[in-house]
Structures are given as C-alpha cells and as structure tokens.
Amino acid sequence: MTLGLEHYLVLSAVLFTIGLYGALSKRNAIIILMCIELMLNAVNITMVAFSRYIVPTMLTGQVFAIFIIVVAAAEVAVGVAIVLAIYRGITDIDITKIDMMKW
Amino acid sequence: MGLVISFWIFGVAAILAALGVVFLKNVFRAALSLILCFLAVAALYVTLSADFLAAVQVLIYVGAISVLIILAIMMTREIQQGSPGNKLQIPAFIVAVLFLGVLIYALTTTGWNISTTPPVAPTSVALALKLLGKGGFVLPAEIAAVLLLSAILGAIVIAREK
C-alpha cells in the first residue's frame, strides 16, 4: 500500500469541514478564531500535497503555504486585538450578543 | 512503509485533535487540542518532504499563534462558560456534511496529473532561491513584510487602553 495525493486531499477536506462546522456553529469568538486557523491549516496541507505530487521540483505550493502562514499570523493578531477590545467594551465575547452595528 | 504508518498516525491524530477543538466544553482544553493539531500537521509536512515548512509550522503556529490564543482566553475569562453552540448548530452540521461529500467526490474522481519525479530533499535552499531568486516572489515577500508591520500596528492601536 502506497500513499497517494488523494490521501492528503481527503485528510485536508475532513480537517477543513471540521473547522467550517466549528466556525458556523460556535458562540465563543475565540473558538471561531481557532476554527479559522484549522481551516487555514487544511488549505496549507492541500497546497503542500499538490506541490509534492504534481510539481515536485518547483516548490510553488510551498511558497504559497508560506504566504498563507504570514497572512494567518497577521489575521490572528488583529482578530485577538478586536476580541479584546470588544471584551473591554461589553465584557462578553458571545457573538450572538455582539450586535452594536445592527440597527 | 514508514511514511504510510506515520501518515495514518498523524492524520488520525490531527482529525481527533480538530474534533476536540470543536467538541470540548472547556475552552482552554480546546486550545491545547488545537496545539496538538498544529503539531500533527507539522509531522504531515515532514511526510510530504517539506522540512522547512514543518519547522515554520512549529515556530509560528505552535510557538506564536497558540500563545496569542491562550493569552486571549486568559484575558477574557470565558473558560467557565465553555463553548456553547448557537441556533445554527443543526443547519451548520448538515451544510458541513454535504460540503464534505461534494469535496471528497470531486477530489477522488478528478484524474490528477501525478508526477513521478522524486521531490527536492532539503527544501530550504531551493525554497529561498524560489522565493528571492530571479523570477521569484520578491515583491510578494516585501508586501508580506508591509502587511505584517501594518497588522502589528493595527493590533496595538485596537487593543491598547484609552
């Protein structure tokens, strides 16, 4: 039995779906941030698997994965800052109660 | 053979840890489970012969992002309230299962153009040449630096006390 591209693709599809379900169904803002990180990780696995199996000597997928990691780091820094600012304002990070911008 | 065994071990570990992130009641334990998932993904990068990316994954995700998330959990004192679901739990589950089915069908029925060339073994130098060499990704790398700087400044501005 050997490893194929499909193994990694199905694994990352499962990880992405778990992250998607968590991001859609949770009320805690920090849990939602964590689920978004899960989804970004799943996409990274896909990128690296395509790079390994389709263009093994070009490494393009790994360069893409590096840029995704950079953007994820920026996103989580700003996201945590926003969560802390909201918590300081209304002492709650339940996203069903954060409706200041709703009219 | 070792690759296959390690793929199954770390793949199952990654999926179980991801399920823990979603289904554990304690938010702090969910964060620890997320760290385990990041480590398993780093091991999967090693099985894909992406050694530099595995090191980057451990440094940035396990080192930096998890510390940020744990800090946020500590500062918001939400650990006791757990991670309750919202009203959309059942529709979200149905959408996720349908999405997974479509995705797996599409991924397994597509005929991928698999190359049989062996991969580049130590990827650090090749990756640096690809990123910063001639015809590489120099401009995106510089824009990424500007993005990180602006994200840090934005985070400071948003999160500081008045």
CATH of the domain at B79: 1.20.120.1200
Contact flag B107-A77 (C-beta cutoff 8 Å) = no
Same domain, B50 and B127: no
What is the count of structural domains for chain B?
2
Contact flag B83-A3 (C-beta cutoff 8 Å) = no
Is B13's pLDDT higher than 80?
yes
Residue B116 CA from chain centroid, whole number: 27
For the residues B3-25, what does the mean pLDDT come to? Answer: 93
In a domain, B94, yes or no: no
Same domain, B73 and B3: yes
Domain boundary among B83, B104, B136: B83
Q: What is the ipTM of this complex?
A: 0.92
Q: Which domain holds residue B74?
A: 1-83
Is B81's pLDDT higher than 70?
no
For residue B115, how many other CB atoms are within 10 A of its CB?
14
What contacts B132, CB < 8 A, 6 or more positions away? B138, B141
| Per-residue tokens: A24 | 């859609």
Is B78's pLDDT higher than 80?
no
Q: SS3 of A94, please?
A: strand
Q: Where are the domains of chain A?
A: 5-90
Domain boundary among B83, B99, B134: B83
pLDDT band at B118 (very low <50, low <70, confident <90, very high): confident
Is B86's pLDDT higher than 80?
no
For the residues B148-160, what does the mean pLDDT come to? Answer: 92
Note down pLDDT in tens along chain A; length 103 residues: 788 889 999 999 999 999 999 999 988 889 999 999 999 999 999 999 999 999 888 888 999 999 999 999 999 999 999 999 988 888 878 888 888 887 7
CB contact at 8 A, B14 and B38:
no
Contacts of A82 in chain B (CB under 8 A): 158
The CATH number assigned to the domain with range A5-90 reads 1.10.287.3510
What contacts B22, CB < 8 A, 6 or more positions away? A18, A21, A22, A26, A31, A35, B30
Same domain, B141 and B68: no
What contacts A29, CB < 8 A, 6 or more positions away? A83, A86, A93, A94, A95, A98
Same domain, B69 and B124: no
CB contact at 8 A, B115 and A55:
yes
In a domain, B107, yes or no: no
For the residues B40-50, what does the mean pLDDT come to? Answer: 93
- Decide if B139 touches A, using CB distance below 8 A: no
Q: In this predicted structure, what is the pLDDT of residue B76?
A: 83
What contacts A9, CB < 8 A, 6 or more positions away? A46, A49, B107, B108
